[in-house]
Structure 1
């Protein structure tokens, strides 16, 4: 196949995949990263904005200053909300995030792309990595961020993909397994985080953690491609000063290594990562692999892929723990689980296997009873089954739940109920 045809196919797949997500990473090993960036910039059918990180982008303040300047040159009113912030407010990351997102919302009315080129210049900047991670759910629905980097950004890609907020592209393919290159070592490690969380080394359970911190440190190291010591200390011991946190980290790391009888974390070029001598099989990654298979259009094995995702999800991420980063990931993986259940329910409805579909909806409600769209789906399904009274009763139970929590069902749900009781 000629090169231009390969590039055309890669660009077509890029556009198709970008339609269903918020963040696209052009994998560092992609041969056509720069060509795809150029193609996107030169495509008259798309609106694209561009920022190349420079050598000064090693702090969030420098990044915000640089990108605001460059985007204002491409759209004169960009930065209006950021520039309204008082100097003291610039230290408030939440204010920066909300105002930056508001500026993005006004950047263009229709679908647009924002390319962050040479993103690896920010590798050492924890605050930039954190900012981009927290920005993703705040992005306007018509914005797509495209990252071009020579390294894998330190962002929790696996959980973001589970939530359908990110994809990783390598030329004309979507990366869908071994996202962080942690498979292929000599010692097999089976890791199960969807549920209470446990680890098997060469088929034997690890039960000598000496407390919960070494175990959670291990799961945190699996959360992203690499981590810094400062990230670890900020996540686990934010109340301690730097020296104290570092001391506790080293004690925790030694206990982790002792539990597995090897150096689980290796330190390379200022970053910690999982030892490449390990062959890690991680249920969260397997779960996301099945989700990606299920999302493929016209996949004849779609139902089976979603069923495998449901089977892999044994419970909430690290069930029983309430650390902030764990709660964030738990929500991400739950989104993927609900996606799989609802996709399977829709197939069963098309097959007129309504009881099977109802069982899947009820299982989804067990995981997230407050999700109002699910209740409407159940009410409509009852109607389709000719069980109008049960549809009305379901609404009443849900409305009572909402009232007990100081809320009311939204207008769409109320309108559906009115149509039910009016016949």
Structure 2
């Protein structure tokens, strides 16, 4: 058994390609295998690996825990030695053990999109957001997971926003609504997502939903951050209320980095919403 399929986005699942998943006895076993498969180009010294998995234990206790965990894994995973290379000092994912990993599929699709002109990115971005089925190891709260979880989440949210904008520009407004609604659900304080969703509803001729989107943005910013919408967001709302909105059916602006995608943007000057 040298070919493995692994899902670490959302709920953990790992097992032989085309076969049933392994039945692991503990979340710590999932965390260990997740760490090894995500870093399968590295060999891990046992002491450091134990410290990552049991940061609150003494080094001696953490190493004992790791020995016990590896022992139980041998009973739970048939032919574990075909996947892991375990020595007295190190543990590593075997270089000749192929793994079809969902994180790789997600990031490969993103890199493929980045290599294409903006107008041709939609299929690759669609593939990427479909591959992202949840946060990294969503059922685990290990400290080592957090930085990588946040990095992947940020890439996913940026991909959703770009996909929403590009499908809007291409005229597929219904698809754009789906992507952007997912974006503002997963990152409700990202004003740029609310603005683009307002523009898409306007392009569909549904001004009422566009206005509701603005007021939902106002409410979430007040509740979560204690701030008012930015000038850019208020300007889109003003266009909606205008007798002659600023080209609601025209192409949306090209995706670009903004200064209000995250809570750090609250340092910008803001005015009272209309």
TM-score, length-scaled by structure 1: 0.51
Q: How does 1:46-195 map onto structure 2 within 5 Å? A: 187-195=2-10
Q: Of residues 199, 207, 221 in structure 2, which corresponds to 1:402? A: 221
Structure 1 residue 237 displacement after superposition = 1.1
Query: Does the C-alpha gap of structure 1 residues 255 and 332 become closer, same or farther in structure 2, counting only changes over 3 Å?
Result: same
Q: What are the ranges of 5 or more consecutive residues in structure 2 without an aligned counterpart?
A: 244-274
SS at match of 1:205: coil
Paired residues of 1:206 and 1:260 also in contact (CA < 8 A): no
In structure 1, how many angstroms separate the alpha carbons of the residues matched to 2:118 and 2:216? 38
Secondary structure in 1 matching 2:95: coil
Shift of 1:219: 0.2
C-alpha spacing 1:269/1:321, structure 2 compared with 1 (3 Å) = closer
Deviation at 1:267, TM superposition (A): 4.5
Structure with a larger share of its residues in strand: 1
Measure, in 2, the Cα distance between the counterparts of 1:299 and 1:257.
48
Counterpart in 2 of 1:387? 206
**SS state at 1:319 partner:** coil
Equivalences for residues 367-386 of structure 1 within 5 A: 367-386=186-205
Map 1:202-281; keep pairs closer than 5 Å. Answer: 202-224=17-39, 225-226=41-42, 227-261=44-78, 262-263=80-81, 264-267=83-86, 271-281=90-100
- The TM-score, its normalising length taken from structure 2, stands at 0.76
- Aligned mates of 1:346, 1:400 — CA distance in 2: 23
- Structure 1 CA distance, aligned partners of 2:155 and 2:234? 27
Distance 1:204 1:217 in 2: 21
Contact 2:189 2:224 in 1 (8 A): no
Q: Give the Cα separation in 2 of the matches to 1:307 and 1:204.
A: 27
Name the SS for the 1:196 alignment partner.
Answer: coil
Alpha-carbon distance in structure 2 between the residues aligned to 1:373 and 1:300: 20
1:198–1:205 Cα contact (<8 Å) kept? no
Q: CA deviation at 1:308?
A: 1.7
The answer to which of 188-197 and 393-402 deviates more is 393-402
Q: Which runs of 5+ in 1 are unaligned?
A: 1-185
Distance 1:406 1:277, change over 3 A: closer
| Change beyond 3 A, Cα 1:383–1:296 | same
Cα RMSD over matched residues?
2.5
CA 338–272 in structure 1, closer or farther in 2 if over 3 Å, else same: same
Q: Which residue does the alignment assign to 1:355?
A: 174
Count of aligned pairs between the two proteins: 238
